[in-house]
A and B are shown apart, each in its own frame.
Chain A
């Protein structure tokens, strides 16, 4: 919830006291495991917060999940197993990057689709313009003759001023 400071508009919502997210006592001794835990934490949502990862959140629930993640990692789970475990427990709401599924089809697909449609539309428009405006062709002999005639008729006044 603390994030609302950004636009200073949602002051109606009270911010809870600010403390630390990850605290020294919950960190793992093994730096490799700890790094994995931190990476996973950034992908997981603190469910009682507003769009905040458990890595950033100081809510007690976030701390519980952080500890849970570390517990699973110590027991030898892979990153995917940890995520699956949490999804089974808390639902997909816990993932900050929703998986590609039927319900999220538009979420993932709309922008690439729009880009493709945009490119396609531009391509078509460029082609159509080409056909509408034909390339300038050379004058036919008949036109050339008439033009010379007109120029000759105008002759006392030079066409191009010196």
Chain B
């Protein structure tokens, strides 16, 4: 009964979606208030029904109803409750349901908080949003129904893939989807603006909070995924340039560019056409990511060809939305009036520079990810594009970007002055140069690039602080005045500085962990000791343990530093009988923001066990930096002028023109 209810609720959501896809458009065209208002209620109800559907599926998983095919394939009655819960989206069908749940959540949010939008814009946005929703409802109902029943329900489920039995599955996919799908709002706004043929600074102000929110979720979502891979996969890497990772990085790069170009549009009414294009591209890349991951095309072009229903369906969605969006753009964008002139050296110019490098970086990832697929499909020739390629091509694009980062916020709008800004950044340059020199002296001739990486990171950090110090007049005005200015400064200024600082924190973590990390691969017998980075790890012995749905072989290591015991690490190997598979559970010990990482290999006949120990200096900064970036986004989002659902349309407010520039 429950699964049928969920199935039916999804069908109802589709029906509502179809109404919402058409009625508001007609309403906006004929200026029919009632038809336009209809979209608000259908969007809210759509979310209600999808949520009901999702709740029904969750109920099936939590109660282990193995008469439902997906539950049988991805769940087990002995699993801890948390994993029963998370296995809802730990498979294709369920994750698509989560996708549309979040999509309808965003639609409902626009309906609920978009009261300050002009009626026609809101109606058009919700209609476009519903086109996307309907195509994915159809995708689920026609090709990936999670509610299908089995004629003869088995007694026990086949269990969730052991790798996914982790808290990471509870955190990472929902966050990532909030980011991915969040860009649909920017897309809908862009298409609505093209339909109306009108776009102005106010449009950017309405789109920015949604983009910012999506970007924040995506940033943390990617970071959490990276951390999960780091501790779960057992070899201590944090980024592999895997196509699946790239699929999430591309929308992030495009979204970051969009975030910055929307600032120019909002403040200066310039870059309108470009911002629209980026809004379309950011979501298009999310769709491409979904296609790459969901269609099976990544494994091989041939896998895709052997069971093409799902892949082709998403491909059609892809072509319709991306092709349609870009066609509409090509047709209508020339009609939009360009405004806001600026000199090449200006805040706008700096943001254009940012956009140029971010989009090129995005293109690099795009080409690198899809080239092998395209080449194989066209010529049958197989090549590999992996980490060495991306490291070589991606870094040169990010270095100028990071170098220019502190300049942007310090340059004036319209016409800036580079020497003046450089002078104000003297302290930051100083910090960077000292950092390079000190690292060179300390690290010796080891790596040439690393000291420059450290210098760059510290320079960007100092640059972000310089911006704040300059604005509040610290060290120049009396302290009380500075404090007052700091309190009165727009939150978005704090947001910019914090987010840029966070980027540098991540960079610092990447450089340190990948340059000065230490590694030992050894076979140890009990009581033997392995030493690295000043830590001594004594192997105490192995023990069998059993968990709710697995058995594990755990090793115990006592960690000593400077003679004293500082803790115990117990890496293990888990075997899951239900799937006849095993996982390696690495043991991690944090020392400040550095980590000791210990993972277990095979047990040899002579009683020794193979282990891998890593010392990863400052590795936690990689993910902490992402959290700091998200905090920056949150600060910016809390800025007065972006507050979602502010009572007055900001465009008409005379106050807005008096606000200090960001």
Contact = CB atoms under 8 A, between A and B. Distances in A.
- The finding on whether chains A and B are genuine partners in a shared complex, rather than unrelated, reads yes
Interface of A: 2-25, 27, 42-43, 45, 50-53, 56, 91-98, 103-104, 106-108, 110-111, 114-115, 118-119, 122, 126, 129, 133
A9 B247 CA distance: 12
Given A8-B172, A103-B381, A3 B244 contact: yes
B371 A8 contact: no
A5 B232 contact: yes
Contact of B610 (A15, A20, A42, A50): A20
A24 B356 contact: no
B379 A91 contact: no
Given A14-B581, A56-B235, A7 B244 contact: yes
B487 interface: no
Contacts of A133: 341
Contact of B235 (A6, A11, A21): A21
Nearest to B374: A106
A10 B244 CA distance: 9
17 contacts: A6-B229, A11-B74, A12-B296, A17-B582, A18-B234, A18-B584, A19-B602, A20-B610, A27-B521, A42-B388, A53-B386, A56-B237, A96-B387, A98-B384, A103-B375, A126-B343, A126-B344
Contacts of A24: 521-523, 610
Contact of B386 (A6, A18, A51, A115): A51
Contact of A18 (B229, B382, B522, B582): B582
Contacts of B393: 108, 111
Given A5-B229, A8-B173, A106-B367, 17 more contacts: A5-B168, A5-B233, A6-B242, A7-B245, A8-B172, A11-B74, A11-B161, A13-B299, A17-B581, A19-B584, A23-B602, A23-B610, A42-B388, A51-B243, A97-B388, A103-B383, A126-B343
A93 B268 CA distance: 49
Contacts of A15: 161-163, 581, 583
Contacts of B371: 104, 106-107
Contacts of B599: 20
Interface residues of B, number: 79
A68 to B, nearest CB: 18
Interface in B384-439: 384-389, 392-393, 397
A111 B293 contact: no
Given A11-B161, A24-B610, A129-B341, A3 B356 contact: no
Contacts of A122: 344, 352, 356
A51 B169 CA distance: 22
Contacts of B235: 21, 56
Contact of B356 (A19, A52, A119): A119
Interface string B285-329: 000000001101011000000000000000000000000000000
A21 B392 CA distance: 24
A108 B363 CA distance: 11
Contact of B176 (A5, A7, A11, A91): A7
A96 B388 contact: yes
A53 B371 CA distance: 18
B388 A43 contact: yes
A118 to B, nearest CB: 5
